[in-house]
Structure 1
Amino acid sequence: MSTYGLLGRDIGYSFSRNYFSTRFEKENLPHHYINFDLKSIEELKEVLQNKEIHGMNVTIPYKEEVIPYLDTLDPIAKEIGAVNVIKFENNGKLTGYNSDYYGFTESLKPLLTPKVKKALILGTGGASKAIAYALEKLDIKYTFVSRNPDFKELSYNDLDEDIIRDFKLIINCTPLGTHPKVQNHPDIPFEHLGENHILYDLIYNPEETTFMRKGKEKGAKTINGLRMLVLQAERSWEIWNS
Structure 2
Amino acid sequence: MKKFGLIGYPLGHSFSKKYYLEKFDKEHIEGINYDLYAIEDIQEFQNLYSNDAGFYGFNVTIPHKLTVMQFINELSAEAQEINAVNCIKIQREGDNIYLKGFNTDAFGFEESLKPLLTPAHKQALVLGNGGAAKAIIYTLKKLNIPYLIISRTKENGDMTYGELKKVDLKDYQVIINCSPVGTFPHVEDAPDINYEQLSADHLLYDLIYNPVETRFLQKGKEKGALIKNGYDMLILQAEKNWEIWNNEE
TM-score of the pair, normalised by structure 1: 0.94
Of 150, 155, 159 in structure 1, the residue corresponding to residue 155 of structure 2 is: 150
Distance 2:67 2:179 in 1: 17
2:62 aligned residue? 60
**Cα distance, 1:87 vs. partner?**
0.5
1:183 to 1:31, Cα distance in 2 relative to 1, 3 A:
same
Contact 1:161 1:192 in 2 (8 A): no
**Cα distance, 1:36 vs. partner?**
1.6
Distance 1:20 1:59 in 2: 16
2:25 aligned residue? 25
1:178 to 1:50, Cα distance in 2 relative to 1, 3 A:
farther
**Cα distance, 1:2 vs. partner?**
1.2
2:176 aligned residue? 171
**Cα distance, 1:39 vs. partner?**
2.6
Distance 1:4 1:88 in 2: 10
Q: Does 1:204 align with 2:209?
A: yes
Distance 2:19 2:112 in 1: 17
1:125 to 1:233, Cα distance in 2 relative to 1, 3 A:
same
Identity %: 48
TM-score of the pair, normalised by structure 2: 0.91
Regions of 4+ moved over 3 Å? none
Distance 1:122 1:150 in 2: 14
The Cα offsets for residues 163-203 of structure 1, whole Å up to 9 and x where unpaired, read as 42211111111112112222222211212111111110011
Letter in 2 for 1:133: Y
**Gaps in structure 1 of 5+ consecutive residues:** none
1:112 aligned residue? 117
Distance 1:43 1:190 in 2: 45
What SS does the corresponding residue of 1:79 show, helix, strand or coil? helix
1:191 aligned residue? 196
1:3 aligned residue? 3
Higher Cα Rg: structure 1 or 2?
Answer: 2
Distance 1:202 1:116 in 2: 18
Of 119, 128, 147 in structure 2, the residue corresponding to residue 123 of structure 1 is: 128
**Cα distance, 1:236 vs. partner?**
0.4
Distance 1:194 1:161 in 2: 17
